[in-house]
């Protein structure tokens, strides 16, 4: 399929890339990953090959959320937003960006988000789970705290997407739960374990009731949440939890029809996607890769293009939903909505012969 849009795709500031690369040195090879994170112009060829028209870029995790000093975190946000805005400006038909913000101070976060959206053209904001804070960096700030209402109010007013991305657990949680099984702390399990609490915290604290225009997305096929919706709602007994702020007559399932979206980043599983479609509908799911933490764009794109799902669903998940939600039809991106199966090279005898949609 041509014309795909992907939206959990990381970059790094060149000066940080080397550092970041070192952190994962033992994993993918530090230099390689660092180089991939820092390179933006060079991505276009792989996008062409994989049928990806647009990549929405964001500063790699934990970004500002990992900086416990408020001044440094704010500085990083401004630097990152200015930097990526220039990159997008150079090729707006292929790139867009999510803003980075320091979440130490909700009001300043809202201000930087406003600047990034209004002045720089960012189409949303990427939050990497909790904000590290405190002198030792071990304090954790969560955005379901009522003090963040000013941030959510600004999000609603700006009408842009908030994308929640995972990061490693705090030292305290790590020591208790992951120290003796380190391989579970990150993308295999702990990432979603941690982030899901934050997401459900936001929903159950009533953010979507107070700010009904807020749209929240998260990746990795929903961070464990879609497949447990019945049990979550069944167990959030209103009589049992009178302190829970969420509207009395609403359920987490309801919010998935009005305020929440998921992406396929790093989770190229046919059955999980089919399950997510059954729970949420294709209107709330968007294709994404998680580049460069996934090796290139082809593995995920090949999986997606050959999925046993309907053609209208392929178009919605692969392109239309993101185009509409991020308003990518507007200048300077100017993506075309409503392209046909033929224009996007979906279906036809070729698909049949290559066994796609089997």
Among 92, 254, 296, 298, binds a copy of itself (CB under 8 A): 254
Counting contacts by CB under 8 A, is residue 211 touching a copy of itself? no
Nearest alpha-carbon partner for 116 in 93, 68, 83, 149: 83
Counting contacts by CB under 8 A, is residue 349 touching a copy of itself? yes
Instruction: Write the binding mask 16 to 55 for a copy of itself: x where contact by CB under 8 A, - elsewhere.
Output: ----------xxx---------------------------
Counting contacts by CB under 8 A, is residue 147 touching a copy of itself? no
Compare residues 78 and 229 and give the one whose CB is closer to a copy of itself: 229
Among 40, 76, 221, 325, binds a copy of itself (CB under 8 A): 221
Task: Please give the DSSP secondary-structure letter assigned to residue 1.
Answer: -
Q: Give least dist CB 347 to a copy of itself, A.
A: 5
Q: What are phi and psi of 260, to 5 degrees?
A: -125, 150
Q: Give least dist CB 252 to a copy of itself, A.
A: 9
Counting contacts by CB under 8 A, is residue 348 touching a copy of itself? yes
How many Å apart are CA 7 and CA 265, to the nearest integer? 8
Contact 57, 95 (CB under 8 A): yes
Nearby residues of 248 by Cβ (< 8 Å), 6 or more positions away: 238
Q: Give least dist CB 85 to a copy of itself, A.
A: 32
**Catalytic residue ranges:** 290
Counting contacts by CB under 8 A, is residue 209 touching a copy of itself? no
Using CB under 8 A as the binding rule, the residues of this chain from 278 to 307 that contact a copy of itself are 278-284, 299, 303
Counting contacts by CB under 8 A, is residue 338 touching a copy of itself? no
Counting contacts by CB under 8 A, is residue 197 touching a copy of itself? yes
Q: Give least dist CB 243 to a copy of itself, A.
A: 7
How many Å apart are CA 234 and CA 293, to the nearest integer? 35
How many Å apart are CA 274 and CA 112, to the nearest integer? 38
Contact 43, 90 (CB under 8 A): no
Stretch that binds a copy of itself, among 118-126, 152-160, 217-225, 324-332 (CB under 8 A): 217-225
Distances (CA, A) of 293 to 21, 33, 114: 11, 8, 29
Compare residues 94 and 167 and give the one whose CB is closer to a copy of itself: 167
Q: CA 229 from chain center: how many Å?
A: 20
């Amino acid at each position: 399929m041509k014309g795909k849009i992907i939206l959990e795709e990381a970059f790094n500031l060149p000066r940080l890339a080397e550092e970041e690369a070192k952190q994962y040195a033992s994993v993918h090879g530090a230099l390689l990953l660092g180089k991939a994170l820092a390179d933006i112009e060079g991505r276009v060829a792989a996008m062409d090959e994989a049928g990806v028209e647009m990549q929405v870029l964001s500063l790699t995790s934990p970004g500002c959320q990992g900086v416990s000093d408020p001044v440094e975190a704010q500085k990083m946000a401004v630097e990152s937003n200015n930097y990526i805005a220039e990159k997008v400006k150079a090729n707006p038909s292929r790139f867009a960006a999510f803003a980075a913000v320091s979440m130490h101070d909700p009001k300043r976060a809202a201000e930087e988000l406003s600047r990034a959206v209004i002045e720089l053209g960012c189409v949303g904001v990427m939050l990497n789970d909790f904000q590290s804070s405190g002198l030792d960096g071990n304090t954790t700030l969560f955005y379901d705290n009522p003090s963040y209402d000013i941030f959510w109010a600004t999000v609603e007013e700006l009408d842009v997407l908030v994308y929640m991305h995972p990061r490693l657990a705090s030292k305290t949680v790590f020591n208790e739960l992951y120290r003796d099984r380190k391989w579970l702390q990150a993308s295999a399990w702990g990432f979603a374990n941690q982030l899901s609490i934050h997401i459900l915290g936001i929903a159950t604290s009533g953010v979507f009731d107070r700010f009904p225009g807020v749209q929240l997305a998260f990746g990795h096929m929903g961070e464990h949440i879609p497949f447990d919706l019945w049990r979550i709602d069944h167990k959030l007994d209103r009589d049992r939890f009178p302190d829970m702020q969420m509207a009395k007559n609403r359920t987490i399932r309801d919010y998935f029809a009005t305020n929440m979206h998921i992406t396929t980043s790093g989770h190229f599983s046919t059955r999980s996607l089919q399950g997510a479609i059954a729970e949420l509908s294709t209107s709330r799911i968007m294709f994404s890769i998680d580049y460069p933490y996934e090796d290139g764009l082809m593995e995920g794109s090949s999986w997606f293009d050959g999925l046993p799902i309907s053609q209208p669903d392929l178009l919605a998940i692969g392109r239309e939903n993101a185009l509409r939600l991020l308003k990518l039809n507007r200048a300077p991106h100017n993506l075309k909505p409503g392209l046909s199966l033929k224009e996007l090279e979906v279906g036809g005898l070729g698909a049949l012969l290559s066994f796609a949609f089997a």
